[in-house]
Amino acid sequence: MKTKPPRPLGRAITIDMPLPGGGSCRYIGREVRRDADRIVLVEAAWVAHTGRMSDFLAGVLDGACEVEPHPPTMEVELPLTGAVIADWPGTLPAVKR
C-alpha cells in the first residue's frame, strides 16, 4: 500500500469538523502545525455561513458568506478526528463579513 507524503505546512486550508450533537463547524486559515490528533492554524477565521458551497470551495466569499476572523497571530488548535480538510484557493479573510 502506498502512503501519501505529508502536505507542506504553511498552506491555506479549509477544515470542516463534525460537532458532537450533529452538524459541523468550518474554519479557514494557514496550517502551521499538525500531529496525529490536532491541527493548528494562524490567520484563521471561523465560517458561520459559507453562502453557496460551490463558490466557497472556489475561494469566493460572496455576500451571503459570514466569517469571523481571529487576530492574525492567534493560534487556533482544532481536533482532527472526523475533519475534512481541503486546500483554500482564496485570500484568507482579515475582516469580519
pTM of the entire predicted model: 0.86
Bridge partners of 79? 38
Residue 69 domain-assigned (yes or no): yes
- Quote the pLDDT of residue 3: 67
Q: How far apart are CA 57 and CA 27, in angstroms?
A: 12
Residue 92 lies in a domain: no
Give the number of other Cβ atoms within 10 Å of residue 20's Cβ. Answer: 5
Range of the domain at 41: 12-87
Domain count, the chain: 1
Residue 96 lies in a domain: no
For position 68, what pLDDT does the model report? 95
State the pLDDT at residue 41: 97
Instruction: State mean pLDDT over 53-77.
Output: 92
| Domain assignment of residue 95, yes or no | no
Q: Is residue 93 part of a domain?
A: no
Q: Per the domain annotation, does 6 fall within a domain?
A: no
Residue 97, in any domain of the structure: no
